[in-house]
Amino acid sequence: MTPQTYLTENKDRFINELLDLLRIPSISADPAYKESVFKTADEVKKRLIEAGADNVEICQTKGYPVVYGEKIISPSSPTVLVYGHYDVQPPDPLDLWTSPPFEPVIKDEKIYARGACDDKGQMYMHVKAFELMMRTNTLPCNIKFMIEGEEEVGSDNLGTFVKANKDRLKADVVLISDTGMIANDIPSITVGLRGLCYMEVEVTGPNRDLHSGIYGGAVANPINILCEMITSLHDKDNKVNILGFYDKVQVLSAEERAEMAKAPFSLDEYKKHLDLSDIHGETGYSTNERVSIRPTLDVNGIWGGYTGEGAKTVIASKAYAKISMRLVPDQNPEEVKELFTKHFLSIAPKSVKVKVTPHHGGDAAVTPTDSIAYQAASKAMETTFGKKPIPQRTGGSIPIVALFEKELGLKTVLFGFGLDSDAIHSPNEHYGVFNYLKGIETIPHFFKNFAEMSK
Ligand code: BES
Ligand code: MN
Ligand code: MN
């Protein structure tokens, strides 16, 4: 049977299997879902075995396990290491979902569920593409799967796993579907990811919550102070106002920027899609540049004081914020963490105490376009989309990409089939049935091209 016939005959089952996987709430951030996360790992193991993988193993870590599996066809064939993650983001705010996040439904040719695109849907394309190659006798490379369960919480234990399994993970290239493309009729391949430095701050004023009439005006209100401190983190050009923040930022040449500007983009559609009257960002850079080659600082959450029903006249004792910085090549997350901490403590007035705690971080990454693997991916997309994909940098982070390079000396191909509009991490996350099936169709072409071009 040809791969194409196999896909046509099995596509309904491929979809239903994904729906089953999406029913398990593998939320790695919330300890209440611990059992479900472990159960998802078991399920992934089962699916890899069914698809035809050997030596499938649940590898325990200090956190959630990594699922490993492989098919070695010949020691002389090239080896592709497929990475993905089976954990998902928390679904809240729940009331904004039009259908429950863990009861997947197909509406308008799209699968709605938490994890539909990020990353269960995209990860599972590889399992099904592998099944297809096994059943049609067309697997031309060795394949190794490494599917983790802590990506959405910073992959804390992955470094240890990779270092301890260097031999087992030996490969020629890493293949990851955990990013997006420009549009269903404009294929693209991601060639850059930003890094991340995530911090939490706590501002303490008086030692207890106070009556805002009795004390108001005479003591520092930590919420007011925190807001002032946060405001001062950007200057009038929307640049990050932290000493040394831009020191190591890799600067792109005018040619590189001109090349980037060729990618199709409509500012009107962008604004319309987000219901915005205007955009906002660093002076001197385009929207695409702002979300890919420039670093940023954003408050991800801020809280303190009274937020319940009605009104309470109070000066809170404490105020908090979670602040993340997206980094670009050559910025070091550890250094940025130090710079931020030093700066944030230095701008605190004497009337409050400030505590700064780091969360996770990760390096930015740029992947090559002149490699055999990139060419194999580009040709694969050209075959199935009928158009040559555009290389494009993106703003999200997948810290493992830099880690694979550092620990295993491996380059990655970011073979994503999602869309920015898929609402990953947001309510009503979805993944196009077209995208899911197109991924399953395109991946075997990558393997075929990579095997041929590696000869
Ligand atoms: N799949 C995303 C990253 C992504 C999405 C990159 C779309 C490019 C385009 C990944 O699951 C993710 O959410 N990463 C986190 C970082 C992580 C350290 C928590 C992110 O980018 O916020
Ligand atoms: Mn992801
Ligand atoms: Mn994610």
Question: Tens digits of per-residue pLDDT, 339-350?
Answer: 999 999 999 999
Distances (CA, A) of 388 to 266, 276, 374, 381: 20, 32, 12, 7
Q: Locate all alpha helices (DSSP H) within 232-362, ordered by sequence.
A: 254-260, 267-274, 287-290, 333-346
Ligand 2 centroid to residue 422 C-alpha, Å: 12
Residues 58 and 15: their CA atoms lie apart, in Å, by: 24
pLDDT tens per residue, range 123-161: 999 999 999 999 999 999 999 999 999 999 989 899 999
Provide the annotated active-site residues: 87, 151
Which pLDDT does position 173 carry in this prediction?
98
Residues 443 and 84: their CA atoms lie apart, in Å, by: 14
Ligand 1 centroid to residue 44 C-alpha, Å: 21
pLDDT band of residue 308 (cuts 50, 70, 90) is very high
Q: Is residue 285 part of a domain?
A: no
Q: Is residue 282 part of a domain?
A: no
Nearest CA to ligand 1 atom 16: 397
Q: Look at residues 337, 362, 387 and tell me which one is the last residue of a structural domain.
A: 362
Residues 344 and 214 grouped into a single domain: yes
> CB-hemisphere CA count at 13 Å for 404?
26
Please report, rounded to a whole number, the percentage of residues in the chain having pLDDT higher than 90: 99
pLDDT tens per residue, range 31-76: 999 999 999 999 999 999 999 999 999 999 999 999 999 999 999 9
SS3 content of the chain, % helix, strand, coil (to 5): 35, 25, 40
CB contact at 8 A, 285 and 294: yes
Ligand 1 atom nearest the C-alpha of 190 is 8
Which pLDDT does position 56 carry in this prediction?
98
For 59, the token pair is: 């590898």
Which pLDDT does position 147 carry in this prediction?
98
Q: Is residue 438 part of a domain?
A: yes
CB contact at 8 A, 382 and 389: yes
Instruction: Name all contacts of 110-113 with Cβ < 8 Å and 24+ positions apart.
Output: 110/430, 110/431, 110/432, 110/433, 111/15, 111/18, 111/19, 111/22, 111/430, 111/431, 111/432, 111/433, 111/436, 112/428, 112/429, 112/430, 113/19, 113/22, 113/23, 113/429, 113/430
For 36, the token pair is: 């479900």
- Exposure string of 434-444, with b = 16+ CB inside 10 Å and e = fewer, is ebbbbbbbbbb
Average pLDDT score over residue span 326-334? 97
Residues 385 and 432 grouped into a single domain: yes
Q: Is residue 259 part of a domain?
A: no
Which pLDDT does position 168 carry in this prediction?
97
Ligand 1 centroid to residue 397 C-alpha, Å: 5
pLDDT tens per residue, range 266-287: 999 999 999 999 999 999 999 9
Phi, psi of 46 (to 5 degrees): -60, -45
Determine if ligand 1 sits within 6 Å of the CB of residue 429.
no
What single-letter amino acid sits at 149?
A: G
Range of the domain at 174: 3-193+364-453
pLDDT band of residue 338 (cuts 50, 70, 90) is very high
Distances (CA, A) of 53 to 49, 70, 87, 170: 5, 5, 21, 17
Q: How far is CA 240 from the centre of its chain?
A: 23
Counting every residue written for the chain, the total comes to 455
Residues 392 and 337 grouped into a single domain: no
Which pLDDT does position 145 carry in this prediction?
98
Three-class secondary structure of residue 146 per DSSP: strand
Sign of CA dihedral 182, 184, 187, 193: positive
Nearest CA to ligand 1 atom 1: 178
Q: Is residue 263 part of a domain?
A: no
Determine if ligand 1 sits within 6 Å of the CB of residue 121.
no
For 274, the token pair is: 């987000």
Q: Is residue 238 part of a domain?
A: yes
Which pLDDT does position 80 carry in this prediction?
98
Residues 300 and 374 grouped into a single domain: no
Residues 189 and 204 grouped into a single domain: no
Residues 44 and 133 grouped into a single domain: yes
Determine if ligand 1 sits within 6 Å of the CB of residue 119.
yes
Phi, psi of 229 (to 5 degrees): -65, -45
pLDDT tens per residue, range 160-204: 999 999 999 999 999 999 999 999 999 999 999 999 999 999 999
Determine if ligand 1 sits within 6 Å of the CB of residue 196.
yes
Which pLDDT does position 181 carry in this prediction?
97
Q: What DSSP element (H or E) covers 355?
A: strand 353-362
Q: Which ligand has the shortest distance to the CA of 418?
A: 1
Which pLDDT does position 265 carry in this prediction?
95
List, in sequence order, every residue forming a beta bridge with 200; answer none if it has no partner. Answer: 322, 357
Q: Which ligand has the shortest distance to the CA of 89?
A: 3
For 30, the token pair is: 């919330």
Which pLDDT does position 70 carry in this prediction?
98
The dihedral over CA atoms of 395, 398, 403, 405, expressed in degrees to the nearest 10, equals -60
Determine if ligand 1 sits within 6 Å of the CB of residue 399.
yes
Ligand 1 atom nearest the C-alpha of 361 is 18
**Count of other CB atoms within 10 angstroms of residue 404:** 25
Task: Look up residue 153 and give its DSSP letter.
Answer: G
CB contact at 8 A, 153 and 198: no
Residues 325 and 447 grouped into a single domain: no
Query: Strand runs (DSSP E) across 34-187, as ranges?
Result: 54-59, 66-71, 79-85, 105-107, 110-112, 142-148, 173-176
- Domain total of the chain: 2
Nearest to 43 by CA among 62, 24, 60, 27: 24
CB contact at 8 A, 326 and 194: yes
Ligand 1 centroid to residue 81 C-alpha, Å: 19
Determine if ligand 1 sits within 6 Å of the CB of residue 422.
no
Q: Look at residues 326, 343, 362 and tell me which one is the last residue of a structural domain.
A: 362
Residues 126 and 222 grouped into a single domain: no
Residues 213 and 235 grouped into a single domain: yes
Q: Look at residues 347, 362, 377 and tell me which one is the last residue of a structural domain.
A: 362
- Counting ligand 1 atoms within 8 A of each CB, the residue from 178, 194, 392 with the most, and so the one to mutate, is 178
Confidence (pTM): 0.95
Q: Which ligand has the shortest distance to the CA of 84?
A: 2
Which pLDDT does position 6 carry in this prediction?
98
Please give the mean pLDDT across all residues of the chain.
97
Ligand 1 atom nearest the C-alpha of 395 is 8
Please report, rounded to a whole number, the percentage of residues in the chain having pLDDT higher than 70: 100
Residue 316 belongs to domain with CATH number = 3.30.70.360
Q: Which ligand has the shortest distance to the CA of 181?
A: 1
Which residues contact residue 329 at a Cβ distance below 8 angstroms, ignoring those fewer than 6 apart?
192, 195, 250, 364, 365, 366
Nearest CA to ligand 1 atom 20: 397
Ligand 1 atom nearest the C-alpha of 360 is 18
Average pLDDT score over residue span 399-411? 96
Ligand 3 centroid to residue 191 C-alpha, Å: 18
Residues 44 and 183 grouped into a single domain: yes
Q: Is residue 254 part of a domain?
A: no
Q: Is residue 152 part of a domain?
A: yes
Residues 206 and 339 grouped into a single domain: yes
Nearest CA to ligand 1 atom 15: 397
For 64, the token pair is: 């959630």
Residues 357 and 368 grouped into a single domain: no
Determine if ligand 1 sits within 6 Å of the CB of residue 79.
no
Ligand 1 centroid to residue 433 C-alpha, Å: 21
Ligand 1 centroid to residue 328 C-alpha, Å: 14
281: left (phi over 0), alpha (psi -120 to 50) or beta: left
